[in-house]
Amino acid sequence: MHESHQVQHLISHVQGEMKKRGVAKVTQVTVLVGELLGFDDISIGLHWDEMVIGTELEGSKIVVEFAPARLHCPVCRSDFKKKGSDLSCPKCRVMGTPTASGKEFCLKDLVV
């Protein structure tokens, strides 16, 4: 359900960008999705294909790129990529805290 809402918001954003740029047709939309959201590209694609029917985006392709989760170490103050289920800092092995990276759901590119 959450993916559906995000895809609907993305469609509205893309339509706004098309109007702003004076573009009538888009062939491909690339979206950046943070891995912490737990979304998958197949589900996003299915929602996209269903929701764009009857709009100027019908027939366009959605490409999903995943942004890795980054954590912050409170001890050495470095940021690092989360590896699998391991949340510890690779330098000092202390549990990292979440950053904004990995929570994205945003338009990255439009192909006309």
Report yes or no on 15 lying in a domain.
yes
Provide the percentage of residues in the chain whose pLDDT is more than 70.
99
Report yes or no on 21 lying in a domain.
yes
In single-letter form, the type of residue at position 15 comes to Q
Task: Note the pTM of the prediction, 2 decimals.
Answer: 0.84
Section 25-34 average pLDDT: 97
Strand partners, 97: 72
Section 22-37 average pLDDT: 95
For the chain, the domain total comes to 1
3-state secondary structure of 16: helix
What the block records as the tokens of 72 is 């912050």
Report yes or no on 28 lying in a domain.
yes
Summarize the chain as % helix, strand, coil (round to 5): 30, 30, 40
Torsion of CA 65, 5, 7, 59, to 10 degrees: 150
Residue 1 has pLDDT above 80, yes or no: no
Report yes or no on 105 lying in a domain.
yes
For 67-97, write each residue's pLDDT tens digit: 999 999 999 999 999 888 899 999 999 999 9
Domain that holds residue 52: 2-68+100-111
Which residue has better confidence, 100 or 27?
27
